[in-house]
Every structure is written in structure tokens, then in C-alpha cells.
Amino acid sequence: MNDISIRTARAEDKAAWLTLWQGYLTFYGSAIAPDVTEMTWSRIIDPITPVFTRLAVVDDRPVGFATCILHPRTWAVEPACYLEDLFVDENQRGRGIGKRLIDDLIAMGRRDGWTNLYWHTNKDNETARRLYDRYDKADNFVRYRLPLTP
């Protein structure tokens, strides 16, 4: 089995990221306007925004990604890291790539002093939750979210 490595996305990864991103949106039955995708990619490679992507790479080819947003909190001096998007190419499932991406974020956070790493998932997404439960149980909190734009 080929080695998996994890690294930060950079400008030359755009085409590979776009393919994965499209697969991710398709998986969730979602569509995003092209100008939003362009902005998201621009934020990912922009060193001055708090958005970043870690890529899982096999044979020099990106096969999965984790995209995060660092933001301040009111209960800690250190920032929290919100893992907004996690995806692994369907042909590469079952090799532990999702776990490698999360492990990598945990290691980054310990090194850089994030107060926590958190994410949301649909409560019925059993496949994903089997992986997540290896870290910890989901906590006792529910989420309220009000859309404000049309």
C-alpha cells in the first residue's frame, strides 16, 4: 500500500482540489456558485486569512482534504479551530485517510496552541460518526442556525 502524507495546500494544487471539492459537494447533494468556490480557494491559499486546507497526498496526488478556520473565542486566549470540511476520494476510502487528516490537525493544534478542534456532523451520518467516536463522543450541544441571506 502506498504511503499517505499530509501537507498544506498551495497554489499549484488548485485543479486537484477543485476535483475533490466537487466530489465533496456532490456527496452532500449540494451545489455552490462558482464565485464562492473561487473565493474559498483564494482564502485557502492566502496566508493572511484564517482559512487553511491540509491535503492527504498519495503518489503525489491529493486524495482528501481537511479545510479549517481558526477563530478567536471568549473563553480562552488561544484560538479554536473549526474543521468545516473533511473529505476523502471515494476510491481511497477504508485506508484510514480521514483519521490521518484529523490526527494531523490534532498535532498542529498541540504545536500551535489551539484551545480545541471541533466539527459538526449530521447525527444520522453513521459512517462518519464511527470514525469520530474514536476520538470522543459528540457533546451534549445542539445547534441553532438562522440563515440571513436569501
118 sits near a copy of itself (criterion: CB under 8 A): yes
126 sits near a copy of itself (criterion: CB under 8 A): no
- Give CA–CA dist 133/51, Å, rounded: 25
Torsion, Cα 66 62 99 25, to 10 degrees, reads 50
**One residue of 70, 92, 99, 100 binding a copy of itself per CB under 8 A:** 70
4-8 β-sheet, strand order: 4-8, 51-58, 61-71, 80-88
Question: Min. distance of Cβ 110 from a copy of itself in angstroms?
Answer: 6
For the four alpha carbons of 5, 71, 48 and 86, in that order, the dihedral sign comes to positive
Residue found by looking up cell 456532523 in the block: 121
Q: What angle do CA 10, 79, 65 make, to 5 degrees?
A: 30
CA-closest candidate to residue 97, choices 27, 10, 2: 2
**One residue of 7, 71, 93, 126 binding a copy of itself per CB under 8 A:** 71
Question: Min. distance of Cβ 1 from a copy of itself in angstroms?
Answer: 27
Binding mask 73-102 for a copy of itself (x = CB under 8 A): xxxxxxx--x-xx-----------------
29 sits near a copy of itself (criterion: CB under 8 A): no
122 sits near a copy of itself (criterion: CB under 8 A): yes
Complex with a copy of itself: residue 2 or 120, whichever CB lies closer: 120
Residue 11 DSSP label: G
Binding residues (CB under 8 A) for a copy of itself: these are 11, 30, 32, 35-36, 38-40, 42-43, 45-51, 67, 69-79, 82, 84-85, 106, 109-110, 113-124, 129, 132, 135-136, 138-149
